[in-house]
Structure 1
Amino acid sequence: MIVSPQVLSDVDNLRARFCGAQPFRHIVIDDFLDAGFADALLAQFPDFERGNSNNEYRQKGGKSVVESVRKLGPAYQQMDDVIQGREFLGLIERITGIPELLYDPYYLGGGTHSNRSGQSLDAHVDFNYHPVDEWHRRLNLIVYLNPEWQDSWGGQLQLHSDPRRDDNRTSSIAPVFNRAVIFETNEVSWHGFPEIRMPEDRQSLTRKSVALYFYTRDRPEEETVGKHTTVYIDRPLPEHLRAGHVLDDGDMQELQALLSRRDHHIQRLYRELHELTAARDRGALGRILYLAKRAYFRARR
């Protein structure tokens, strides 16, 4: 088993922590993997250039993803073998109380994630159905592989109660080495991370993680909604920008960056609308091809 013995012997306590966590059910587990195995995953972690770094605008960005994890080396092959087995799935079921979990053989949107300085992730809820098998998405399990990480570098995983509200409550989790975060995915599981700000002498470092997503064939009726892709919320103005505040150069740069992100978001929506209209004009086959392509790109965010 690749999971540390301490985790295996503490399941009841872990489940209580998972069920009682706020702003939605989750748990943070330090030293989640066997120490030697975590070291092996880091040693075989792919270089940024090896992964797919196309962003939602289909341009090269600051995040690189490798979904074909078995090609990365023996440790990732072992990980893939273990996480699809009943022993591992049963462990996660006991911790979360979610039965009959299914492993995703495609690693759609998952696998290794490498984020460069300057990268961030707006608060969002994930796509809720598997694009291929139509299973319900139920859990994210993220293992961080960053041997050195300081709070001043940003990049903390943030779990939100509701980023659209002024009284939004946030839980912040540093992405330190061999720390696992398991959280449920539903219509209120808002999460993201603020901008990574590496110092000049650490620019070559990236925020490394392995993302594993789990599904079920069914889910409780009260949690079941129509199919949707990833839903993002554009980040609000910083708290210090209020009436009477005098803008400085740093404020202007931050405002310009926020406006640029919002402009890109609007442009992407217009492009998708244009593509959908063109697909409609091409008939039924065009619509099917459009939806298939859209699901493919959205799943890989």
Structure 2
Amino acid sequence: MVNFEYLENNLEKLRINYLTAQPFPHLIIDAFCNEEKLSKAYENVPELNNKSRDYNFANNKFEKSNYKEICPEFLELYNDLSSERFNDILTYITAKKIFVDPKNFGGGLHQGKKNSFLDMHLDFNYHPLNKNWYRELNLLLYLNKDWKPEYKGGLKIKDLRTNNEAEIEVPFNRMVLQQCAPYTLHGYDMTNFPDGRFRTSIATYAYQVHEKLIETPRTTDWFPKEDASAFKKLLAKNYNVLVKTKNKFFGSGTAKNQ
């Protein structure tokens, strides 16, 4: 499914593009998968009804963790993304020894329906189960057939250190590799897709093993817009404490969106 030959034949160019990108390291790879196979997978995408856990900071966003169960093509994609061959490619591009979480904890198929949005945020840093796995990379594969800029929903990224930002278009078969760090925000503005069309993507995460923790473990940190309600701003400020308290008593719900 993944165009391994292209990646392996262009490793040096991809590495330079990733490391030198602004506002922080990221990489755009078009035609990431075999077009015919990915189109067949896309035809099998159901309309999802499992609402995102981030509903206070997102609108009309739905998820399915085990997307590999949908069809053989998605299973092939899942296996390619978690393979040693792909891990070697990511390690070269990022200049760090990293690997994709083979269980894709917290990732999966994401679907934004009418007027969907996702507030800017920092993702969790250390894996909730494997406590010394540090999240180094988001891998976002977009499945938006015939996408147009007026549909909106482009991936917005922002560096908290400099306030520099960029917006990346999200057409079909585009993979975006995005560095994860304490300053790498991302999200997307309200969409304007035609009726019956959804902002669709597959999220995968890559990690590095840390012998010593370099940051305080956190869940998601949210950064609502200036015109957000006072309630949302207060919730964002206290979100980490509230989630940790909930998880202590009820466990994490991240892996439940099957």
- The Cα of 1:225 is off from its aligned counterpart by 0.8
Give matches, 1:44-59, under 5 Å.
44-49=44-49, 52-56=50-54
Q: Residue in 2 aligned with 1:245?
A: none
User: CA-to-partner distance for each residue in 1:43-81, whole Å, 9 max, x for gaps?
Assistant: 2323223xx214435899511111012211111211222
- Does structure 2 conserve the Cα–Cα contact (< 8 Å) formed by 1:57 and 1:268? no
Q: Residue in 2 aligned with 1:18?
A: 18
Q: Residue in 2 aligned with 1:33?
A: 33
Partner amino acid for 1:12?
A: E
**Alignment pair present for 1:224 and 2:214:** yes
Give matches, 1:235-246, under 5 Å.
235-237=225-227
Q: Residue in 2 aligned with 1:243?
A: none
Q: Distance in 1 between matches of 2:22 and 2:42?
A: 30
Q: Distance in 2 between matches of 1:234 and 1:211?
A: 22
Q: Distance in 2 between matches of 1:291 and 1:31?
A: 43
User: CA-to-partner distance for each residue in 1:239-273, whole Å, 9 max, x for gaps?
Assistant: xxxxxxxxxxxxxxxxxxx32xx424535877987
User: CA-to-partner distance for each residue in 1:9-43, whole Å, 9 max, x for gaps?
Assistant: 11100100001011111111111112223213312
- Does structure 1 conserve the Cα–Cα contact (< 8 Å) formed by 2:59 and 2:118? no
1:140/1:88 Cα in 2 relative to 1: closer, same or farther (>3 Å)?
same
- Does structure 1 conserve the Cα–Cα contact (< 8 Å) formed by 2:58 and 2:118? no
Secondary structure, counterpart of 1:127 in structure 2 = coil
Larger Rg: 1
1:181 to 176, 179, 194: 176
Secondary structure, counterpart of 1:187 in structure 2 = coil
Q: Residue in 2 aligned with 1:246?
A: none
Q: Residue in 2 aligned with 1:124?
A: 121
5+ residue gaps, structure 1, are 238-257, 277-286
Secondary structure, counterpart of 2:253 in structure 1 = helix
Q: Distance in 2 between matches of 1:292 and 1:136?
A: 24
Larger strand share, 1 or 2: 2
1:8/1:218 Cα in 2 relative to 1: closer, same or farther (>3 Å)?
same
Normalised to the residue count of structure 2, the TM-score between the two structures is: 0.87
Partner amino acid for 2:197?
A: L
1:123/1:299 Cα in 2 relative to 1: closer, same or farther (>3 Å)?
farther
- The Cα of 1:147 is off from its aligned counterpart by 1.2
The runs of at least 4 consecutive aligned structure 1 residues that moved more than 6 Å come to 268-276
RMSD of aligned alpha carbons: 3.0
Q: Residue in 2 aligned with 1:194?
A: 189
Partner amino acid for 2:30?
A: D
Q: Distance in 2 between matches of 1:59 and 1:186?
A: 20
- Does structure 1 conserve the Cα–Cα contact (< 8 Å) formed by 2:58 and 2:119? no
1:213 to 205, 212, 219: 205
User: CA-to-partner distance for each residue in 1:141-175, whole Å, 9 max, x for gaps?
Assistant: 1110111222122101011022xx8x722111111
- Does structure 2 conserve the Cα–Cα contact (< 8 Å) formed by 1:117 and 1:197? yes
Larger helix share, 1 or 2: 1
5+ residue gaps, structure 2, are none
1:92/1:46 Cα in 2 relative to 1: closer, same or farther (>3 Å)?
farther
Partner amino acid for 1:24?
A: F
Q: Residue in 2 aligned with 1:156?
A: 154
Q: Residue in 2 aligned with 1:203?
A: 195
Normalised to the residue count of structure 1, the TM-score between the two structures is: 0.75
**Alignment pair present for 1:110 and 2:107:** yes
- Does structure 2 conserve the Cα–Cα contact (< 8 Å) formed by 1:23 and 1:161? yes
Q: Distance in 1 between matches of 2:112 and 2:65?
A: 15
Partner amino acid for 1:217?
A: V
1:272/1:225 Cα in 2 relative to 1: closer, same or farther (>3 Å)?
closer
Q: Residue in 1 aligned with 2:231?
A: 263
- The Cα of 1:191 is off from its aligned counterpart by 0.9
Q: Distance in 1 between matches of 2:40 and 2:231?
A: 41
Secondary structure, counterpart of 1:129 in structure 2 = coil
**Alignment pair present for 1:5 and 2:27:** no
For these two proteins, the number of residue pairs brought into alignment is 256
